[in-house]
Amino acid sequence: MSELPVYSAADIAAHSSKDDIWITIHGKVYDVTTYARDHPGGVDLLVDVAGKDATEDYLNVGHSEDADDILEGYLIGIAASPEKPKRSKEIKLVQQVPLPATVKSSSVASGVVKAVAGPLALAGAGYCALTYGPSPRVLLSHLPQLPATSVSSGHSAFAGGFAIASVVSTIGATVVANKLSKLVKLESSLKKYPARRQQLPYIKPGNPHLASGFLDAKAFKPLKVAKIDQLSSNVFKYSFKLPNPRDIVGLPIGQHVAIKATVDGKDVTRSYTPTSNNLDVGLLELVIKIYPDGQLTGKFFANLKAGDEVLFRGPKGAYTHTVGQCKKIGMIAGGTGITPMYQLIRAICEDEYDTTEISLILANRAEEDILLRKELERFARRYPKNFNLWFMLDHPPKDWAYGSGYVTADVMKERLPAPAPDTKIMLCGPPGMINASKKALVTLGFKAPGAVSRMSDEIFCF
């Protein structure tokens, strides 16, 4: 890749016409002019991103592994990396630390003692002296002539009264000052708290299904098989342990993973939807039906044993579920097409904040072909407000409690929500069933989807 030419943004932008289309994806430059007429979504989608970085659009659509291989055939160069902005120098702001409330209140209290005790003591002393000692006139006439070594009886009475009054008044002033000090401290402490304790607003925790984890969208990463459980004659559950017990897969609800293996000397890649999610820490689980002639199931998964490594890449897909995205979801699935539906059903039912209503029609040939039946029926029992379940079989047993035959427009009208702005229908299963379901849904009033599924479609195909 180092030998490829490097193109600037201006060079790439110059190729933005219908007959000259260059695009940038993950830092690589592709000339897709000759491919435009074969593009499944039409030439207009490519013209919209011509001369631009189309990475986000490419990932949002959820292209297959085949599309990635086709794209590499049109690689012509590398996009010049933009100059990274320089980090500004950090500026530290120094803020003065305010004195603690206890220090302030102590200083105030000390000031109150000094301001109150002195005047109270003097006033009390004077009052007692005048009450118990000589008259003021005698006091005034004798004070200048008081000898330093002797005191008359009148003078002794005054001195004693003054001394006693001083002690008593000082004690009284100290008590009053202490009371005032406590009041000051109480007021200071009250100022630290609001008059009424306000209830903090509830903050809903973040969506765990949107958190990143083990998966890498650009590179395949290995996981070892921890356990294989046989669910039926040809259906198996493969459990893989993540590198650390607290790791999560990092797979948004509605998306899937790509698995790559070498079969008969060639790399084969297929997409699968795990039945586990980000709430299952340290674990990734796949439920897979083995077809003897399947490139990846019959020749790879059928031969796996505990300890073998499997390569994973993701997340992939054009759809990601979020709470409140729509009010009602109708689902039509056939055979193994139940796995992406189950992932979504489980996430909605287990989220107490998600009030989305789901109605599922699951079609199979025979009763033993139904995947995840116990899990689906358990969700239908536990969450009747969220999940409504209906099975359809080509060959039902005698006491079959559900439907039989094909999934017709009449069955859809009875079991699925009617067209509405906040309603979405999801399809996954054999191509014949999907095409027939699309036509029937259009007759019921739903808008037909485009060649490439988008999240905004009323009818979304996994």
Per-residue tokens: 52: 């631009």
Structural domain including 252 reads 208-316
* Tokens 């790399």, located at residue: 267
What is the per-residue pLDDT for 172? 60
Give the domain-ending residue among 316, 337, 359.
Answer: 316
CA distances from 65 to 28, 223, 271, 412 (A): 17, 20, 8, 32
What is the per-residue pLDDT for 295? 86
What is the rounded distance in angstroms from the CA atom of residue 313 to the CA atom of residue 429? 22
**Alpha helices, DSSP H only, in 49-145?**
55-61, 65-72, 101-132, 136-142
pLDDT tens for each residue of 354-410: 999 999 999 999 999 999 999 999 999 999 999 999 999 999 999 999 999 999 999
Instruction: Give the pairing type, strands 459-461 and 423-428.
Output: parallel
Question: Does residue 133 belong to any structural domain of this protein?
Answer: no
Answer yes or no: is 270 a known binding residue.
yes
What is the per-residue pLDDT for 323? 87
Low-confidence ranges of the chain (pLDDT < 70): 1-2, 38, 40-41, 61-66, 81-205
What is the rounded distance in angstroms from the CA atom of residue 267 to the CA atom of residue 263? 6
What is the per-residue pLDDT for 59? 78
- The catalytically annotated residue of 155, 256, 269, 356 is 256
Residue 354 · residue 321 · CB < 8 Å? no
How many domains, the chain?
Answer: 3
Question: Does residue 179 belong to any structural domain of this protein?
Answer: no
Q: What is the CATH number of the domain that holds 27?
A: 3.10.120.10
- The catalytically annotated residue of 273, 275, 336, 356 is 273
pLDDT tens for each residue of 281-300: 999 999 999 988 888 999 99
Q: What is the CATH number of the domain that holds 392?
A: 3.40.50.80
What is the per-residue pLDDT for 4? 84
What is the per-residue pLDDT for 406? 93
What is the per-residue pLDDT for 86? 44
Residues 6+ apart with CB under 8 A from 66: none
Per-residue tokens: 457: 């479609």
Please confirm, yes or no, whether 256 is among the known catalytic residues: yes
Question: Does residue 268 belong to any structural domain of this protein?
Answer: yes
Instruction: Give the pairing type, strands 328-334 and 423-428.
Output: parallel
What is the rounded distance in angstroms from the CA atom of residue 384 to the CA atom of residue 411? 20
What is the per-residue pLDDT for 454? 83
Residue 275 · residue 231 · CB < 8 Å? no
Question: Does residue 134 belong to any structural domain of this protein?
Answer: no
- Are 250 and 307 within one domain? yes
- Are 267 and 379 within one domain? no
Please confirm, yes or no, whether 428 is among the known catalytic residues: yes
Answer yes or no: is 287 a known binding residue.
yes
Give the N- to C-terminal CA distance of the chain in Å, as an integer.
34
Q: What is the CATH number of the domain that holds 300?
A: 2.40.30.10
CA 50 to chain centre: 34
Question: Does residue 352 belong to any structural domain of this protein?
Answer: yes
Question: Does residue 290 belong to any structural domain of this protein?
Answer: yes
Please confirm, yes or no, whether 63 is among the known catalytic residues: no
Answer yes or no: is 339 a known binding residue.
yes
CA distances from 253 to 256, 273, 413, 435 (A): 8, 10, 27, 25
